[in-house]
Amino acid sequence: MNKYATLKTLVNSCVFFVLTSCSGEQASSPVAASNTQSFSWKLITSWPKNLPALGTNPERFANLVREMSGGRLDIRVYGANELVGGLEVFDAVSQGVAEIGHTASYYWQGKIPGAPFFSSIPFGMTVVEMNAWLTYGGGDQLWKEAYEPFDLIPIRGGNSGTQMFGWFNKEINSLADLQGLKMRIPGLGGEVLRRAGATPVTMQASEVFTALQTGALDAAEFVSAYNDLAAGYHTVAKYYYYPGWHEPGSALETLFNKTAFESLPNDLQAILMAATEVMNQGVIDEMTAGNSESMQVLVEREGVELRKLPEDVLRELKRISQEVMEELASEDATAKRIYESYKSFQDTMLDYKLVSEEAFDDARRL
């Protein structure tokens, strides 16, 4: 069975589960058989359309929905700047310009102060921990509450995993080397760098290469090896730094216009929810496999200089990060609720991982 057929089988199972989990009246009614109305929707993203994993999985999502609905729900995918700019996805879906968006929540901190917690925060949770918090730790409920005033339904839409810190055209040997550094870095990681003396820049992915090439940026973070190799950043920057302290497990989001979503028949709603879960896992799996292979190519074939940030730099960035998180929580009541839920779950996970994954990693290296 090929990968697509496997995904289709999974979606079928998910749809059956969702429909039969409804009330007895809904479950006994063959919704799909009695409703032949068709819908044409738009899906906009914050990524270049062909960007590995982030850009390609929304297209796979649309294909799955189209086939599972028997063509009743046709979704056309637009990459960044094809319909709206990559940083305009939230507003466009909220206003009904498109019915679906694929993006990342930390772009919307100016609208919702606690939004970054639903994607990634400095020294925060990894992909496995984020998925667990969102699904079983109360994160999803808080997320939906935060987006409700904007007529949006947010759903997890993938995760890039622990990222690299990024590409630099100068070495970072001490905190002094961060002073005045112009770096493309969004979200709370950017605020931490600002307080450390750097100049953070929020810039959509399609503009980063040229900015590095021309010297408009001294450094840039994007994702990690899989996407960075495809973007060609190694041809315009010399050093590749790790670890990605700023984005340890960056959850992506699928946004649905709430009014449009609720206007659909129940079976199409279920198909969308199930296909979103397939996309969530698909991005994670592809990124995990692609990062390992691409890092080998970058180091062994392209001769990239892989560097680890000095420990004193990491310690200071961690100290500032804690300061930033606490200030954010103190300034907004909703952000405080989200932060308290997030931190409580992370603390519990750290205790468990000491005797599970971390202990096993140590044993595996013996």
Give the pLDDT of residue 187: 81
Is the model's pLDDT at 336 over the cut of 90? Answer: yes
Give the pLDDT of residue 304: 96
In tens, the pLDDT along 63-109 reads 999 999 999 999 999 999 999 999 999 999 999 999 999 999 999 99
State CA 343 to chain mean position distance: 19
Is the model's pLDDT at 289 over the cut of 60? Answer: yes
In tens, the pLDDT along 300-314 reads 999 999 999 999 999
Strands 39-45 and 100-103: parallel
pLDDT band at 26 (very low <50, low <70, confident <90, very high): very low
Other C-beta atoms closer than 10 Å to the C-beta of 82 total 14
Give the pLDDT of residue 204: 78
Per domain, the residue ranges of the chain are 3-159+250-289
Give the pLDDT of residue 130: 97
Average pLDDT over residues 29-44: 73
CATH node for 3-159+250-289: 3.40.190.170
Global pTM? 0.86
State CA 197 to chain mean position distance: 27
Is the model's pLDDT at 30 over the cut of 80? Answer: no
In tens, the pLDDT along 138-159 reads 999 999 999 999 999 999 999 9
pLDDT band at 3 (very low <50, low <70, confident <90, very high): very low
Average pLDDT over residues 267-294: 97
Strands 219-220 and 182-184: parallel
